Structure 1
Amino acid sequence: MKTSDLKFSPNYFDRYIALVDANTDLIDGLKNSETIFESFTEKLIQHQTYRYESNKWTPKEMLQHIIDTERIFAYRALCISRLEPNTLQGFDENVYAKNAKANNRSIDSLLKEFRLVRQSTTILFESFDKSTLHETGICSEIKISVLAIGFTIIGHAKHHLNILNERYFTRG
Protein backbone atom coordinates (compact mmCIF):
# COMPACT_ATOMS: atom_id res chain seq x y z
CA MET A 1 0.00 0.00 0.00
CA LYS A 2 1.16 3.53 -0.79
CA THR A 3 0.72 6.90 0.92
CA SER A 4 -2.05 7.59 -1.60
CA ASP A 5 -3.99 4.75 0.08
CA LEU A 6 -4.22 6.75 3.31
CA LYS A 7 -7.81 7.74 4.02
CA PHE A 8 -6.60 10.80 5.94
CA SER A 9 -3.27 12.24 7.00
CA PRO A 10 -3.19 12.72 10.78
CA ASN A 11 -2.27 16.10 12.19
CA TYR A 12 1.28 16.38 13.48
CA PHE A 13 2.37 13.07 11.92
CA ASP A 14 1.59 14.35 8.42
CA ARG A 15 4.95 16.18 8.44
CA TYR A 16 6.71 12.81 8.56
CA ILE A 17 4.38 11.11 6.09
CA ALA A 18 5.02 13.95 3.62
CA LEU A 19 8.71 12.99 3.54
CA VAL A 20 7.84 9.62 2.01
CA ASP A 21 7.50 9.57 -1.76
CA ALA A 22 3.84 9.10 -2.72
CA ASN A 23 4.71 6.08 -4.89
CA THR A 24 6.52 4.25 -2.11
CA ASP A 25 5.01 0.93 -1.12
CA LEU A 26 4.94 0.64 2.68
CA ILE A 27 6.80 -2.67 2.94
CA ASP A 28 9.34 -1.68 0.28
CA GLY A 29 9.84 1.65 2.06
CA LEU A 30 10.49 -0.07 5.37
CA LYS A 31 12.90 -2.58 3.80
CA ASN A 32 14.70 0.02 1.68
CA SER A 33 15.25 2.34 4.63
CA GLU A 34 16.70 -0.36 6.88
CA THR A 35 20.20 0.93 6.11
CA ILE A 36 19.29 4.62 5.75
CA PHE A 37 22.12 5.69 8.07
CA GLU A 38 24.79 3.23 6.89
CA SER A 39 26.34 5.53 4.27
CA PHE A 40 26.77 8.17 6.99
CA THR A 41 28.65 5.94 9.45
CA GLU A 42 31.92 7.89 9.17
CA LYS A 43 30.14 11.22 9.62
CA LEU A 44 28.20 9.83 12.57
CA ILE A 45 31.45 8.69 14.17
CA GLN A 46 33.17 12.00 13.41
CA HIS A 47 30.33 14.07 14.92
CA GLN A 48 29.08 11.59 17.53
CA THR A 49 29.40 13.99 20.48
CA TYR A 50 28.63 17.22 18.63
CA ARG A 51 25.69 19.39 19.70
CA TYR A 52 24.80 22.33 17.47
CA GLU A 53 23.25 23.99 20.55
CA SER A 54 23.83 23.12 24.19
CA ASN A 55 20.33 21.70 24.69
CA LYS A 56 20.27 19.61 21.48
CA TRP A 57 20.96 15.91 21.17
CA THR A 58 24.18 14.37 19.96
CA PRO A 59 23.97 12.13 16.87
CA LYS A 60 24.11 9.11 19.19
CA GLU A 61 21.16 10.42 21.18
CA MET A 62 19.30 11.12 17.96
CA LEU A 63 19.86 7.55 16.73
CA GLN A 64 18.61 6.22 20.06
CA HIS A 65 15.57 8.49 19.79
CA ILE A 66 14.79 7.10 16.34
CA ILE A 67 15.08 3.54 17.66
CA ASP A 68 12.93 4.25 20.73
CA THR A 69 10.31 6.05 18.66
CA GLU A 70 10.13 3.24 16.13
CA ARG A 71 9.58 0.72 18.91
CA ILE A 72 6.81 2.86 20.37
CA PHE A 73 5.15 3.37 17.00
CA ALA A 74 5.36 -0.34 16.18
CA TYR A 75 3.70 -1.04 19.54
CA ARG A 76 0.99 1.47 18.68
CA ALA A 77 0.44 -0.19 15.31
CA LEU A 78 0.18 -3.57 17.05
CA CYS A 79 -2.34 -2.21 19.57
CA ILE A 80 -4.51 -0.62 16.89
CA SER A 81 -4.31 -3.73 14.70
CA ARG A 82 -5.62 -5.78 17.62
CA LEU A 83 -8.45 -3.26 18.12
CA GLU A 84 -7.21 -1.94 21.44
CA PRO A 85 -10.10 0.20 22.72
CA ASN A 86 -8.00 2.44 24.98
CA THR A 87 -6.29 5.66 23.96
CA LEU A 88 -2.55 5.14 23.59
CA GLN A 89 -0.49 7.61 25.56
CA GLY A 90 2.26 9.82 24.26
CA PHE A 91 5.79 9.86 25.58
CA ASP A 92 8.30 12.54 26.48
CA GLU A 93 11.11 12.12 23.98
CA ASN A 94 13.46 14.28 26.04
CA VAL A 95 13.02 12.14 29.15
CA TYR A 96 13.71 9.03 27.05
CA ALA A 97 16.82 10.63 25.52
CA LYS A 98 18.13 11.74 28.90
CA ASN A 99 17.77 8.26 30.37
CA ALA A 100 18.86 6.14 27.41
CA LYS A 101 22.60 6.73 27.97
CA ALA A 102 23.15 6.60 24.21
CA ASN A 103 26.44 8.47 24.48
CA ASN A 104 27.89 5.44 26.30
CA ARG A 105 27.30 3.30 23.20
CA SER A 106 29.14 2.99 19.92
CA ILE A 107 27.72 4.20 16.65
CA ASP A 108 28.05 0.65 15.34
CA SER A 109 25.91 -0.76 18.16
CA LEU A 110 23.24 1.89 17.58
CA LEU A 111 23.19 1.21 13.83
CA LYS A 112 22.95 -2.54 14.47
CA GLU A 113 20.02 -1.98 16.84
CA PHE A 114 18.30 0.28 14.31
CA ARG A 115 18.61 -2.39 11.59
CA LEU A 116 17.21 -5.08 13.90
CA VAL A 117 14.32 -2.91 15.08
CA ARG A 118 13.52 -1.97 11.47
CA GLN A 119 13.56 -5.64 10.47
CA SER A 120 11.15 -6.43 13.30
CA THR A 121 8.92 -3.50 12.31
CA THR A 122 8.88 -4.71 8.70
CA ILE A 123 7.87 -8.23 9.73
CA LEU A 124 5.08 -6.80 11.89
CA PHE A 125 3.70 -4.69 9.03
CA GLU A 126 4.00 -7.63 6.61
CA SER A 127 1.64 -9.52 8.90
CA PHE A 128 -1.14 -6.94 8.47
CA ASP A 129 -3.74 -7.36 5.73
CA LYS A 130 -5.34 -4.45 3.90
CA SER A 131 -8.26 -4.06 6.30
CA THR A 132 -5.92 -4.12 9.30
CA LEU A 133 -3.78 -1.37 7.78
CA HIS A 134 -6.88 0.84 7.67
CA GLU A 135 -7.81 0.26 11.33
CA THR A 136 -7.60 3.44 13.38
CA GLY A 137 -6.97 4.31 16.98
CA ILE A 138 -6.13 7.29 19.13
CA CYS A 139 -2.49 8.00 19.97
CA SER A 140 -1.65 11.10 21.95
CA GLU A 141 -5.13 12.47 21.23
CA ILE A 142 -4.60 12.05 17.45
CA LYS A 143 -6.61 9.65 15.31
CA ILE A 144 -4.23 7.56 13.22
CA SER A 145 -4.37 4.41 11.12
CA VAL A 146 -1.96 1.50 11.17
CA LEU A 147 -0.96 2.44 7.61
CA ALA A 148 -0.23 6.04 8.62
CA ILE A 149 1.92 4.77 11.48
CA GLY A 150 3.96 2.74 9.01
CA PHE A 151 4.65 5.76 6.82
CA THR A 152 5.29 7.89 9.91
CA ILE A 153 8.03 5.44 10.94
CA ILE A 154 9.73 5.79 7.55
CA GLY A 155 9.35 9.57 7.47
CA HIS A 156 10.49 10.06 11.06
CA ALA A 157 13.87 8.46 10.30
CA LYS A 158 14.16 10.60 7.13
CA HIS A 159 13.30 13.71 9.14
CA HIS A 160 16.17 13.07 11.53
CA LEU A 161 18.58 12.18 8.74
CA ASN A 162 17.76 15.57 7.22
CA ILE A 163 18.54 17.25 10.55
CA LEU A 164 21.83 15.38 10.80
CA ASN A 165 22.77 16.49 7.29
CA GLU A 166 21.73 20.11 7.80
CA ARG A 167 22.85 20.81 11.36
CA TYR A 168 25.53 18.30 12.26
CA PHE A 169 27.45 17.03 9.27
CA THR A 170 28.03 20.51 7.82
CA ARG A 171 29.78 21.73 10.99
CA GLY A 172 32.68 20.90 13.21
Structure 2
Amino acid sequence: MNRPNAGDHAAFYDKYINLVNDEPILETLEKLKTSTYDFLCSLTHEQANYAYAEGKWTIKEVAGHLTDTERTFAYRALAFSRGQGELPGFDENEYVETATFNTRTLQDLAAEFKATREANLYMLRSLTEDQLNIVGVANHASIKVNSIVYIMAGHELHHLNILRERYLL
Protein backbone atom coordinates (compact mmCIF):
# COMPACT_ATOMS: atom_id res chain seq x y z
CA MET A 1 0.00 0.00 0.00
CA ASN A 2 1.56 3.26 -1.11
CA ARG A 3 1.58 6.51 0.81
CA PRO A 4 -1.20 8.76 -0.55
CA ASN A 5 -0.47 11.71 -2.79
CA ALA A 6 -1.79 15.17 -1.95
CA GLY A 7 -4.54 14.97 -4.60
CA ASP A 8 -5.89 11.68 -3.22
CA HIS A 9 -7.85 13.39 -0.43
CA ALA A 10 -8.95 16.79 0.87
CA ALA A 11 -6.12 18.91 2.26
CA PHE A 12 -7.56 18.89 5.80
CA TYR A 13 -6.57 15.21 6.07
CA ASP A 14 -2.88 16.03 5.57
CA LYS A 15 -2.48 16.76 9.29
CA TYR A 16 -3.28 13.10 10.00
CA ILE A 17 -1.37 11.53 7.11
CA ASN A 18 1.73 13.58 7.93
CA LEU A 19 1.87 11.95 11.39
CA VAL A 20 2.28 8.47 9.88
CA ASN A 21 5.84 7.23 9.39
CA ASP A 22 7.12 5.39 6.32
CA GLU A 23 6.66 1.91 7.79
CA PRO A 24 4.10 -0.21 5.87
CA ILE A 25 0.72 1.14 6.94
CA LEU A 26 -0.83 -2.18 7.93
CA GLU A 27 2.15 -2.84 10.22
CA THR A 28 1.65 0.61 11.73
CA LEU A 29 -2.05 -0.09 12.35
CA GLU A 30 -1.18 -3.46 13.88
CA LYS A 31 1.40 -1.93 16.25
CA LEU A 32 -0.91 0.93 17.20
CA LYS A 33 -3.68 -1.56 18.00
CA THR A 34 -1.54 -3.04 20.75
CA SER A 35 0.27 0.07 21.97
CA THR A 36 -2.93 2.15 22.21
CA TYR A 37 -4.69 -0.67 24.05
CA ASP A 38 -1.78 -1.04 26.49
CA PHE A 39 -1.56 2.73 27.00
CA LEU A 40 -5.28 3.13 27.75
CA CYS A 41 -5.29 0.11 30.09
CA SER A 42 -2.36 1.57 32.04
CA LEU A 43 -4.37 4.61 33.14
CA THR A 44 -6.09 4.84 36.50
CA HIS A 45 -9.82 5.33 37.12
CA GLU A 46 -9.14 8.95 38.10
CA GLN A 47 -7.18 9.60 34.92
CA ALA A 48 -9.88 7.96 32.79
CA ASN A 49 -12.48 10.45 34.01
CA TYR A 50 -10.23 13.49 33.59
CA ALA A 51 -10.83 16.28 31.07
CA TYR A 52 -8.11 18.92 30.81
CA ALA A 53 -10.58 21.83 30.57
CA GLU A 54 -14.26 22.65 30.90
CA GLY A 55 -16.18 21.30 27.92
CA LYS A 56 -13.34 19.03 26.75
CA TRP A 57 -13.68 15.27 26.45
CA THR A 58 -12.68 12.92 29.23
CA ILE A 59 -10.07 10.31 28.43
CA LYS A 60 -12.91 7.75 28.29
CA GLU A 61 -14.62 9.92 25.70
CA VAL A 62 -11.41 10.18 23.69
CA ALA A 63 -11.13 6.38 23.75
CA GLY A 64 -14.74 6.00 22.64
CA HIS A 65 -14.20 8.59 19.91
CA LEU A 66 -11.23 6.60 18.62
CA THR A 67 -13.49 3.55 18.20
CA ASP A 68 -16.34 5.51 16.62
CA THR A 69 -13.96 7.10 14.14
CA GLU A 70 -12.22 3.80 13.43
CA ARG A 71 -15.59 2.32 12.51
CA THR A 72 -16.52 5.33 10.40
CA PHE A 73 -13.28 5.30 8.42
CA ALA A 74 -13.43 1.53 7.96
CA TYR A 75 -17.00 1.76 6.70
CA ARG A 76 -15.96 4.42 4.20
CA ALA A 77 -13.11 2.22 2.95
CA LEU A 78 -15.44 -0.78 2.68
CA ALA A 79 -18.28 1.12 1.01
CA PHE A 80 -16.06 2.84 -1.56
CA SER A 81 -14.12 -0.35 -2.32
CA ARG A 82 -17.45 -2.08 -2.99
CA GLY A 83 -18.65 0.61 -5.36
CA GLN A 84 -20.68 3.01 -3.23
CA GLY A 85 -19.74 6.49 -4.35
CA GLU A 86 -20.83 8.91 -1.65
CA LEU A 87 -21.33 8.90 2.11
CA PRO A 88 -22.28 11.63 4.55
CA GLY A 89 -19.95 13.11 7.11
CA PHE A 90 -20.38 12.64 10.83
CA ASP A 91 -20.36 15.03 13.74
CA GLU A 92 -17.85 13.62 16.23
CA ASN A 93 -19.04 15.95 18.98
CA GLU A 94 -22.62 14.77 18.60
CA TYR A 95 -21.45 11.16 18.62
CA VAL A 96 -19.55 11.66 21.88
CA GLU A 97 -22.36 13.68 23.43
CA THR A 98 -24.94 10.94 22.78
CA ALA A 99 -22.67 8.03 23.71
CA THR A 100 -22.33 6.47 27.15
CA PHE A 101 -18.55 6.31 27.28
CA ASN A 102 -18.29 7.80 30.78
CA THR A 103 -20.47 5.01 32.23
CA ARG A 104 -18.00 2.35 31.09
CA THR A 105 -14.54 1.38 32.24
CA LEU A 106 -11.55 2.55 30.27
CA GLN A 107 -10.40 -1.07 30.03
CA ASP A 108 -13.70 -1.99 28.34
CA LEU A 109 -13.40 0.92 25.90
CA ALA A 110 -9.78 -0.04 25.16
CA ALA A 111 -10.77 -3.66 24.50
CA GLU A 112 -13.53 -2.50 22.15
CA PHE A 113 -11.05 -0.34 20.24
CA LYS A 114 -8.59 -3.23 19.96
CA ALA A 115 -11.29 -5.64 18.72
CA THR A 116 -12.59 -3.09 16.21
CA ARG A 117 -9.10 -2.48 14.84
CA GLU A 118 -8.47 -6.23 14.59
CA ALA A 119 -11.65 -6.74 12.56
CA ASN A 120 -10.81 -3.78 10.34
CA LEU A 121 -7.33 -5.15 9.66
CA TYR A 122 -8.86 -8.30 8.17
CA MET A 123 -10.91 -6.15 5.79
CA LEU A 124 -8.04 -3.84 4.92
CA ARG A 125 -5.69 -6.76 4.17
CA SER A 126 -8.23 -8.11 1.69
CA LEU A 127 -8.36 -4.98 -0.45
CA THR A 128 -6.78 -5.18 -3.88
CA GLU A 129 -4.64 -2.45 -5.42
CA ASP A 130 -7.57 -1.52 -7.67
CA GLN A 131 -9.89 -1.22 -4.65
CA LEU A 132 -7.35 0.93 -2.80
CA ASN A 133 -7.35 3.34 -5.74
CA ILE A 134 -11.12 3.82 -5.83
CA VAL A 135 -12.24 7.37 -5.12
CA GLY A 136 -15.38 8.08 -3.13
CA VAL A 137 -16.92 11.15 -1.58
CA ALA A 138 -17.24 11.51 2.20
CA ASN A 139 -18.34 14.67 3.92
CA HIS A 140 -18.55 16.36 0.50
CA ALA A 141 -14.86 15.70 -0.24
CA SER A 142 -13.24 13.23 -2.64
CA ILE A 143 -10.99 10.65 -1.06
CA LYS A 144 -9.18 7.49 -2.18
CA VAL A 145 -9.60 4.32 -0.17
CA ASN A 146 -5.81 4.22 0.26
CA SER A 147 -5.88 7.65 1.93
CA ILE A 148 -8.52 6.46 4.38
CA VAL A 149 -6.18 3.72 5.62
CA TYR A 150 -3.47 6.27 6.38
CA ILE A 151 -5.97 8.65 7.96
CA MET A 152 -7.06 5.88 10.35
CA ALA A 153 -3.52 5.66 11.72
CA GLY A 154 -2.91 9.41 11.66
CA HIS A 155 -6.15 10.19 13.46
CA GLU A 156 -5.18 7.80 16.24
CA LEU A 157 -1.69 9.31 16.48
CA HIS A 158 -3.22 12.80 16.58
CA HIS A 159 -5.34 11.92 19.61
CA LEU A 160 -2.50 10.09 21.34
CA ASN A 161 -0.44 13.27 20.95
CA ILE A 162 -3.26 15.31 22.47
CA LEU A 163 -3.46 12.90 25.40
CA ARG A 164 0.26 13.31 26.02
CA GLU A 165 0.38 17.10 25.54
CA ARG A 166 -2.90 18.39 26.97
CA TYR A 167 -3.78 15.63 29.42
CA LEU A 168 -0.13 15.34 30.47
CA LEU A 169 0.04 11.57 30.16
Given the two structures, how large is their TM-score scaled by the length of structure 2? 0.92
Structure 1 residues not aligned, in runs of 5+? none
Structure 1 counterpart of 2:56: 56
Instruction: Give the CA RMSD over aligned residues.
Output: 1.7
Residues 9-56 of structure 1: CA deviation (Å, up to 9, x unaligned): 4321111111101x2212212211111321353336441111111110
Residues 75-122 of structure 1: CA deviation (Å, up to 9, x unaligned): 00011101113x210111111101111010001101100110000111
Q: CA deviation at 1:5?
A: 6.7
**SS of equivalent residue, structure 2 residue 142:** strand
**Which amino acid letter does the alignment assign opposite residue 147 of structure 2?**
A
Counterpart contact for 1:47–1:169, Cα < 8 Å: no
Structure 2 counterpart of 1:140: 139
Higher helix proportion (structure 1 or 2): 2
Counterpart contact for 1:61–1:102, Cα < 8 Å: yes
Q: Take 2:29 and 2:42, find their aligned partners in 1: how far apart are those partners?
A: 23
Q: Take 1:129 and 1:42, find their aligned partners in 2: how far apart are those partners?
A: 37
Residue identity (%):
35
Structure 2 counterpart of 1:124: 123
The ranges of structure 1 where at least 4 consecutive aligned residues each deviate by more than 4 angstroms after the TM superposition are: 4-7
**Which amino acid letter does the alignment assign opposite residue 161 of structure 2?**
N
Structure 2 residues not aligned, in runs of 5+? none
Counterpart contact for 1:43–1:169, Cα < 8 Å: no
Distance 1:96 1:158, change over 3 A: same
Q: Take 2:34 and 2:44, find their aligned partners in 1: how far apart are those partners?
A: 14
Structure 2 counterpart of 1:93: 92
Counterpart contact for 1:90–1:139, Cα < 8 Å: yes
Distance 1:130 1:7, change over 3 A: farther
